[in-house]
Amino acid sequence: MLTRRETLGGGAGLMAAVAAGSSTLRAQQRALDFSDPSDSLYAYVKTVGSVAPEYRYTHVRGRVYGSVPGEVIRPLMDYEAGLVNFFERMENGFRLTRFETMHFLDMETGALLESFANPYTEQNNIPLHGVVGPQTYELTPEKGIQVIADYEKNEDGAPFSLNWQADGELMRFTIETLREYPESLTPEAWPEASAGRMRRYGDFLTWTVRRDDLENEDLNSAPATMFYSGQTNWQHWLFMGQKPGHLLWHSSGGKYASVADLPQSYV
């Protein structure tokens, strides 16, 4: 049996070892150069998912706003969205399989939105909630992120690079997507739902993570938070047609290791 003095003495010795930087007590560190495509890709995967073959879940909750020329921006509804990410190592990078989900909520009750009183048309609309996937991507230091369709790769690409920014112990980057693509509903067949010949959107997703967690080789996945903002055409189910204006999206959230950890409303 140890005396109290011996116990305290042992504790003091342990603290001294920690203060001295005992290698047996310190996590294995990997110094990252965030300007290097290989290190940037490794840190990205560890932030949004895991460098081990295991599922990681992201979740955001926020609000959707309507913006019409000559009017004040109007809050319309709340929403929840998230990703199911699964990364697998390849010889030179990672393969990502992803599902995406989104549903709309009543702003006052938080309940699943089953009917929406559209203030712009004075009509009731039935919301269409979404599930997308699985989508497959390959991520390599040389060619960045490539969408895989039927496992036929687009050979174009650029070295993997993110706008990593240091803020003390924190690291941040923003994924910016600005895109247009042909409208799936033509104006002739769907005059009240179609946005015209093209749909356009801008997505801005900012991740925040601790540098120590990224460089800690004992962690396969780093705790991280995120903020999302975006601008899109009207949702088809709002039946706004080609009326001037667009939707603004604003939300925040984080990453989870299991479904059980996600907010119950999203589950």
Q: Which residue has the tokens 């609309």?
A: 125
Strand order in the sheet with 170-182: 152-153, 144-149, 130-140, 93-105, 74-90, 55-67, 246-256, 224-232, 198-210, 170-182, 165-167
Q: What does pTM read for this prediction?
A: 0.84
3-state secondary structure of 200: strand
- Whole-number pLDDT of residue 167: 94
Mean pLDDT lowest among 19-33, 106-120, 124-138: 19-33
Torsion on CA atoms 105, 108, 109, 112, rounded to nearest 10: -10
Helix (H) or strand (E) holding 246: strand 246-256
- Whole-number pLDDT of residue 27: 66
More confident residue, 262 or 15: 262
Q: Could you tell me whether strands 93-105 and 144-149 are parallel, antiparallel, or unpaired per DSSP bridges?
A: unpaired
Identity of the amino acid at 80: E
Quick: pLDDT tens for 216-247.
999 999 999 999 999 999 999 999 999 999 99
Once rounded to an integer, what is the mean pLDDT over residues 110-136? 95
19: pLDDT strictly greater than 50 = no
3-state secondary structure of 213: helix
Q: What is the rounded distance in angstroms from the CA atom of residue 237 to the CA atom of residue 214?
A: 41
Phi/psi zone of residue 21: left (φ > 0), alpha (ψ -120 to 50 degrees), beta? left
Backbone angles phi, psi at 183, to 5 degrees: -65, 135
Quick: pLDDT tens for 192-207.
999 999 999 999 999 9
- Give the DSSP per-residue string, 62-94: EEEEEE-TTS--EEEEEEEEEEEEEEEEETTEE
Once rounded to an integer, what is the mean pLDDT over residues 66-87? 97
3-state secondary structure of 237: helix
Once rounded to an integer, what is the mean pLDDT over residues 132-145? 92
Quick: pLDDT tens for 158-172.
899 999 999 999 999
Q: Which among 211, 167, 161, 215 has a CA at the least distance from the CA of 41?
A: 161
Q: Which residue has the tokens 């949702």?
A: 235
Show the tokens assigned to 38: 């290989």
155: pLDDT strictly greater than 80 = no
CA gyration radius, the chain: 23
